[in-house]
Structure 1
Amino acid sequence: MSEVPCAGEPGARGALRPIELATGAVLGGATVGLVTIGSIVPFAAALQLVAAVPMGLIAHRHRLRTLVTASIAATLVTFVAAGVAPAIGLVASATVGGIIGTVKRRRGGVVAVLGLSTLTGLVWASFAIGSLLAMSAARELLFDNMRNASRGIQDLAGRQSQLAPLGRAAADLTDSALRWWWVWVAGSVALGMIATGVFSWFVLGSVLDRLVWLPGRDRLDAARDDRPIAPLPATLRGAGFRYPGAAQDALRDIDLTVEVGEFIAVVGHNGSGKSTLTRLLAGLPPTSGTVERPGSAGLGHLGGTALVLQRPESQTLGVLVADDVVWGLPTERADEVDVDALLGEVGLGGMGAKETATLSGGQQQRLAVAAALARRPALLIADEATSMLDPDGRRELVDLLADLPKRHSMAVVLVTHHEADADAADRVVHLAAGRSVEHLPAWPHPVRDTRRRPMGETILELHDVRHTYNRGTPWEAPALHGVDLSVRRGEALLVVGGNGSGKSTLAWIMAGLIEPSSGRCELGGKPVAKQIGRVELAFQHSRLQLQKQTVGAEIADWGGRATGSGAVGRALDAVGLDRALAARSIEELSGGQAKRVVLAAIVASHPHVVVLDEPLAGLDPEGRADIVELLARLRDSGLTLIVISHDVADMTAVCDRTVHLRSGRMLAAESVHESTSVANSFVPHNNSQPLRSPRDAAWRLEHGGR
């Protein structure tokens, strides 16, 4: 078994670290759900047996105090939600999971399990006896009920002469057990704990072994720095970093100084070392060279360093916008924050009472900036914060970030692979292969790919499709308004629109994952929602769709149980990946590889139509060109593609037609280029969707990408 990175190894001391708090909260919450549902829902009691797995994972990867903290919090929540018995069940699950996880982490065996189980059994036995001694009245009432029950059994058995001895034996056994109740209770609890521990070692231990590949390292976790918080100026001298187990440095020989008042852009392609550089600036010690600052980086602390990440929804914790701005701040500091002023500064004025789930992607990024500013950071790092936004949203966010050092005593570092984002920067740092370079290598834009086979008849049709989230409630959120659309077999259709235009809702409806509030979405004349799997959806964040340990297992799972290694290999061939990748862990994939693996899995499932939600999001120019080339090959194989993307310039190289969404309405459809032959023909312009007047959306969608 490979070594599991954990914060519980020697040297990890002090308060719980962010990764420990996050893991404890998530897995503790899962345990609460399993125990509560198992105790309330009929025929779901088996879920309580599974409840030891999350707690085992915590003990397997982190310190004992992480398990104890998560267990106490989970027990209190379970007690409030379901009562005493489920709360006791949760403690039992935490105990078993803690024993097995701890022994696994310490690389012990069944002997260690026996020892811990015996010790724990004695503790539980003492607790049980102590409780019964303390509650004498309740104990006597319980014992009286048991005596009465045994007498009743004796009386019933006495009516049949052959059963009378059994009745007397049962009564005598009950009397003996109640006379020596403390021995029976202690013995049964202790032996039960030992038996459970040994059984769980083979069952739960096997589960933990299978889950060892799951990621558990916090790449921002650094040794405790007790100096006063003072992240600037930060000076890197020959700084480099190599991740544990890596064959080469991710970053090397970096010389950089960040001063108060600067707006610095770090530009590079995927894998260039940009994110590693942000981690060094955020406080991670380099493995070579030095990073000098007058105090600690103070990541997440008042006056320290703040991070705004690529996916803003992963940083959104509050239900309301105003709550999210001050989430996690000490009460006294939260009371001092002028939330309305901060929201106005980032362009969200008057939106404090809105639900965070109704914000567009651009608005969520602005909210993340407001939450960072509430901590008065000296250094704000925006790591690929613009990569998931439409062009307008990207420009607006860059303008906002560029203006912050002019109004606050701080520095801003923007990490991006878009050269245009760096235009407003005071300085630009270019990274390639982990080193600082003068300029990035140029990558050509994809050129128009000539269609090699004609399109067929209409395969997917939407008629007057409308959708409203939370319909009929005070939180009603209209998303689509009367969408009409026809897609032909073998066509590559591009759907464009800004953040919040309804693109992702349209994608989910076309994939049959949600049914429209009204109207029809049909594949071959039948509702798509009744043909799940015929239209596959590739998510914007590909990693969310990859659930298996290896690439081959993932592709085989999509293709069904009959999918053999040959079919997996052919699927990898179809997306331009080496067949040797089938054995690689999902966790080792780059962003571009993850997108290709999802497409390979989709190819293996033999869909009629594929909907791709922002397939170029987060990729550098080389990765974008590769995906466009791949989509052209899939289109020419006869697959019908519906591409939802902000990247019009790149995607028109492969798409036949473009349709526009604004505020949930279809504005127009147009050909990407004039056809030169019947074989290359596509839907003529006079068959386009009717032009509809635009209207600003009052609500945004709940799904990522929007």
Structure 2
Amino acid sequence: MRDKPAELARGPLRPIELATGAVMGGLTVGLITVGALVPMAAALQLVAAVPLGLLAHRYRLRALLTATIAAGLVTFVAAGMMPALGVFGAATVAGIIGTVKRRGGGLATVLAAALVASAGWALFSVGMLLVFSRTRELFFTAIRNTAAGIEDLAGRQSQLEPLGRMASEATDVVLQWWWLYVGGSVALGVLVSAVVAWFVLGSVLDRLAWLPGSDRLDSPDDDRPIDPLPVSLHGVGYRYPGTDVPALADIGLTIRPGEFVAVVGHNGSGKSTLTRVLAGRPPTSGAVARPGSAGLGKLGGTALVLQRPESQTLGVSVADDVVWGLPAELADEVDVDGLLAEVGLDGMGERETATLSGGQQQRLAVAAALARRPALLIADEATSMIDPDGRRDLVALLAELPRRHGTAVVLVTHHEADATAADRVIHLANGRMVDHLASWPTPARDQRRGPMGSTILELADVHHTYNRGTPWEAPALHGVDLSVRQGEALLIVGGNGSGKSTLAWIIAGLIAPSSGRCELRGRPVDKQVGRVALAFQHSRLQLQKQTVGTEIADWGGRATGSGAVGRALDAVGLDRRLAARSVEELSGGQAKRVVLAAMVASHPQVVVLDEPLAGLDPQGRAEIVELLARLRDSGLTLIVISHDVTDVAAVCDRTVHLDAGVVVETAGARRPVESDGATLLPARPEAVWRLDNSPRNEPGNGVVR
């Protein structure tokens, strides 16, 4: 089954249209405003049509109109009238090109649409000058004064005097017939811009056509009253467009009011697809029976809490986020303080959502879901990105909802321990229901095979405060001291909100500490960005190219067909044939490996991994731990930031505990490996870690084999 084309959709703007419009409109505001206010950045205004063009290319005209109006108003407040008109001008060209591309038209269609638009802009420009007569006269006076000045200067040279008179006479003619010249120049400008944009912006849109633009939660309109339970699935299957293997096959189950059901399976088993069907997306085979509509996001319907809570956080403050999107009359009825207290966020209503930890954000997502009084709440891997204590607390909270609110809860997870509190457990494997899951491997616990060198990275008295000096300042780190040796594998652990991710960004040089120093080989890391590579917690955010091969080649600065791509894939245990695969087709574990392969190709001195096991099932976790051991033994310096202590500590030389931005303990340090009974080998400053594990003379990239 294919997604419904955007041009055939009816009714109010869909969530995907609102979300994309907000992002693209915000990007346009930034480009136009910076280009208008910063003299050296004026060229940014030339690319302002790209985000709006992408919006028009993917969605309905009303999505573009809504985003344009909002962006225009914000730009007017931030930068004034002329930049705001620039937003509307960019939207005109973007709308023409994007819509024509979406509907399969050509240059002739662009010309026809541009003629209509140019006439409209010409009439608008002339009309504004007619209405605002004082502004028009001021504008004309400035032109006359300029012409008089030119004539005066030219008159000082006899040979230029005729040119000065001609300029003055031409000015008089233009001002006499100003409406014709103004309207004609504006119309010509719009027409030329549209033609040029057809080739320039059109090419950009063609290159971005591979980016996903559909909402997997989107479902056809269901006019029945909202009544999602009980819901029964009979032989349900689901196959995504363009795939040969179904994501779900022959699923039969029933979810009843007030139940707590756990769905357990490994990555790729079909769990998330099952949640989409339960949330209202029609299957491609089989049947779903329920008394009314699923009512996703509606009062009394179905609520969905996703794996990444920040993707559902929309309000600036905690209290605002709980009722965000609810009609005013319903929002007033919500006991916000009571809901926050119930989910463990008592007294935090005035807190900024940006200051919350991952576990707190998940609790907030549950509170926002409960504000809609759902009959069915689905938590899709909601526990996978938070620490063990937070995971236990969240599961306990979900288990209480059926008793307190009568809400049926479906918890989707790959942690068997999360399912112990459920009334019943459904196991999925390869898209099918099974009696139990196959046993998964335990991460290897091998000893390092190579020596460590001298100190390569040093942090001294590092403090960091976000929004320092403002009413919203939020301290994150308090006097961190840390030294990392060449070739060492260091584990930094701590709960959500302990400052781990902030520390990772400082070590990678992406932000400078508020005070203290963080140095790589004696120089500030933020002055040599790229020497320390950072693997984000959400690997997909770092994959910007269309295919795996081009992504790795881009990081390594080599041609796509070079052997460097293949060697990078070998280094992380991926098949070289994966180079041709789209990044959109990667599983979570594959995406993490591709990011590491790209980093390997770029030859960093240190690699920082922020929560490398987050969101992975036991199979994927074991594979990543094994990969870390291989990279460690190759001589690469690793800093692993994680709350998965049990798995990752097995391959790390030392563990540093971070609590509330302070190093509270350093433990588990192993005796440095010696070579032939001698002391540690010193790091060779001219050596660099390579994919074939051989040193290469390259100054400034010192890594021991």
TM norm structure 1: 0.91
- Farther off after superposition, 519-528 or 617-626: 519-528
Instruction: Please tell me whether residue 535 in structure 1 is matched to residue 515 in structure 2.
Output: no
- Name the CA shift for 1:624/1:682 in 2 (closer, same or farther; >3 Å): farther
Distance of 2:349 and 2:679 partners within structure 1: 47
Per-residue Cα deviation, 1:273-296 (whole angstroms, up to 9, x for no partner): 100000011111111111111111
Residue 291 (structure 1) aligned to one of 288, 303, 306: 288
Map 1:389-428 onto structure 2 (within 5 A).
Answer: 389-428=386-425
Residue 9 (structure 1) aligned to one of 1, 4, 7: 7
Residue 224 (structure 2) aligned to one of 214, 223, 227: 227
What is the deviation of 1:659?
Answer: 2.4
What is the deviation of 1:676?
Answer: 9.6
Instruction: Please tell me whether residue 117 in structure 1 is matched to residue 114 in structure 2.
Output: yes
Distance of 2:462 and 2:533 partners within structure 1: 19
- Name the CA shift for 1:532/1:141 in 2 (closer, same or farther; >3 Å): closer
Residue 550 (structure 2) aligned to one of 545, 550, 553: 553
For 1:437, the equivalent position in structure 2 comes to: 434
- Farther off after superposition, 667-676 or 209-218: 667-676
For 2:363, the equivalent position in structure 1 comes to: 366
Map 1:672-683 onto structure 2 (within 5 A).
Answer: none
Instruction: Please tell me whether residue 91 in structure 1 is matched to residue 88 in structure 2.
Output: yes
Secondary structure (helix, strand or coil) at the match of 1:466 reads strand
What is the deviation of 1:165?
Answer: 3.4
Distance of 2:100 and 2:470 partners within structure 1: 50
Distance of 2:306 and 2:665 partners within structure 1: 34
Distance of 2:126 and 2:407 partners within structure 1: 61
Secondary structure (helix, strand or coil) at the match of 2:348 reads coil
- Name the CA shift for 1:323/1:527 in 2 (closer, same or farther; >3 Å): same
- Name the CA shift for 1:143/1:573 in 2 (closer, same or farther; >3 Å): same
Paired AA for residue 605 in structure 2: H
Secondary structure (helix, strand or coil) at the match of 2:7 reads coil
User: Is 1:455–1:681's contact at 8 Å kept on the other side of the alignment?
Assistant: no
User: Is 2:451–2:673's contact at 8 Å kept on the other side of the alignment?
Assistant: no
Distance of 2:643 and 2:439 partners within structure 1: 21
Paired AA for residue 463 in structure 1: A
Paired AA for residue 56 in structure 2: A
Residue 388 (structure 1) aligned to one of 382, 385, 391: 385
- Farther off after superposition, 279-288 or 206-215: 206-215
Residue 614 (structure 1) aligned to one of 611, 616, 635: 611
Instruction: Please tell me whether residue 501 in structure 1 is matched to residue 529 in structure 2.
Output: no
- Name the CA shift for 1:6/1:129 in 2 (closer, same or farther; >3 Å): farther
For 1:512, the equivalent position in structure 2 comes to: 509
Map 1:148-187 onto structure 2 (within 5 A).
Answer: 149-150=146-147, 153-154=150-151, 156-187=153-184
- Farther off after superposition, 183-192 or 387-396: 183-192
User: Is 2:558–2:564's contact at 8 Å kept on the other side of the alignment?
Assistant: no
Secondary structure (helix, strand or coil) at the match of 2:98 reads helix
Paired AA for residue 385 in structure 2: M
Per-residue Cα deviation, 1:408-439 (whole angstroms, up to 9, x for no partner): 12101101010110000011111111111111
Instruction: Please tell me whether residue 345 in structure 1 is matched to residue 342 in structure 2.
Output: yes
Residue 202 (structure 2) aligned to one of 185, 198, 205: 205
Paired AA for residue 429 in structure 1: I
CA RMSD of aligned residues (A): 2.4
Secondary structure (helix, strand or coil) at the match of 1:46 reads helix
What is the deviation of 1:151?
Answer: 5.0
For 1:100, the equivalent position in structure 2 comes to: 97
Distance of 1:681 and 1:316 partners within structure 2: 55
For 2:581, the equivalent position in structure 1 comes to: 584
- Name the CA shift for 1:148/1:641 in 2 (closer, same or farther; >3 Å): closer
User: Is 2:451–2:674's contact at 8 Å kept on the other side of the alignment?
Assistant: no
What is the deviation of 1:179?
Answer: 3.5
Distance of 1:118 and 1:425 partners within structure 2: 64
User: Is 2:444–2:626's contact at 8 Å kept on the other side of the alignment?
Assistant: no
Instruction: Please tell me whether residue 659 in structure 1 is matched to residue 681 in structure 2.
Output: no
Secondary structure (helix, strand or coil) at the match of 2:159 reads coil
Paired AA for residue 13 in structure 2: L
- Name the CA shift for 1:168/1:516 in 2 (closer, same or farther; >3 Å): closer
User: Is 1:453–1:679's contact at 8 Å kept on the other side of the alignment?
Assistant: no
Instruction: Please tell me whether residue 49 in structure 1 is matched to residue 46 in structure 2.
Output: yes
For 2:703, the equivalent position in structure 1 comes to: none
Secondary structure (helix, strand or coil) at the match of 2:71 reads helix
Paired AA for residue 598 in structure 1: V
- Name the CA shift for 1:152/1:272 in 2 (closer, same or farther; >3 Å): same
- Name the CA shift for 1:116/1:470 in 2 (closer, same or farther; >3 Å): closer
- Farther off after superposition, 444-453 or 23-32: 444-453
For 2:630, the equivalent position in structure 1 comes to: 633
Which structure 2 segments of 5+ residues have no match?
681-705
User: Is 1:652–1:672's contact at 8 Å kept on the other side of the alignment?
Assistant: no
- Name the CA shift for 1:239/1:187 in 2 (closer, same or farther; >3 Å): same
- Farther off after superposition, 602-611 or 649-658: 649-658
- Name the CA shift for 1:350/1:141 in 2 (closer, same or farther; >3 Å): closer
TM norm structure 2: 0.91
Distance of 1:169 and 1:146 partners within structure 2: 15
Identity %: 75
User: Is 1:575–1:596's contact at 8 Å kept on the other side of the alignment?
Assistant: yes
User: Is 2:315–2:324's contact at 8 Å kept on the other side of the alignment?
Assistant: yes
- Name the CA shift for 1:161/1:279 in 2 (closer, same or farther; >3 Å): same
- Farther off after superposition, 50-59 or 134-143: 134-143
Secondary structure (helix, strand or coil) at the match of 2:304 reads strand
For 2:568, the equivalent position in structure 1 comes to: 571
For 1:694, the equivalent position in structure 2 comes to: none
What is the deviation of 1:482?
Answer: 3.4
For 2:267, the equivalent position in structure 1 comes to: 270
Paired AA for residue 368 in structure 1: A
Secondary structure (helix, strand or coil) at the match of 2:457 reads strand
Distance of 2:676 and 2:335 partners within structure 1: 63
Distance of 1:234 and 1:667 partners within structure 2: 50
User: Is 1:321–1:354's contact at 8 Å kept on the other side of the alignment?
Assistant: yes
User: Is 2:450–2:673's contact at 8 Å kept on the other side of the alignment?
Assistant: no
What is the deviation of 1:618?
Answer: 0.5
Distance of 2:28 and 2:382 partners within structure 1: 33
For 1:331, the equivalent position in structure 2 comes to: 328
Distance of 1:16 and 1:679 partners within structure 2: 70
What is the deviation of 1:678?
Answer: 6.8
User: Is 1:236–1:257's contact at 8 Å kept on the other side of the alignment?
Assistant: yes
- Name the CA shift for 1:185/1:411 in 2 (closer, same or farther; >3 Å): same
Secondary structure (helix, strand or coil) at the match of 1:440 reads coil
Distance of 1:17 and 1:536 partners within structure 2: 38
Paired AA for residue 491 in structure 1: E
Paired AA for residue 132 in structure 1: L
For 1:215, the equivalent position in structure 2 comes to: 212
User: Is 1:454–1:681's contact at 8 Å kept on the other side of the alignment?
Assistant: no
Secondary structure (helix, strand or coil) at the match of 1:628 reads helix
User: Is 2:550–2:560's contact at 8 Å kept on the other side of the alignment?
Assistant: no
For 2:684, the equivalent position in structure 1 comes to: none
Per-residue Cα deviation, 1:454-510 (whole angstroms, up to 9, x for no partner): 222333333343333334444343333333333322222222221122222222232
Distance of 1:45 and 1:422 partners within structure 2: 56
- Name the CA shift for 1:503/1:135 in 2 (closer, same or farther; >3 Å): closer
For 1:594, the equivalent position in structure 2 comes to: 591
Distance of 2:678 and 2:495 partners within structure 1: 28
User: Is 2:151–2:168's contact at 8 Å kept on the other side of the alignment?
Assistant: yes
- Name the CA shift for 1:191/1:73 in 2 (closer, same or farther; >3 Å): same
Paired AA for residue 274 in structure 2: L
Distance of 2:419 and 2:116 partners within structure 1: 61
What is the deviation of 1:190?
Answer: 2.2
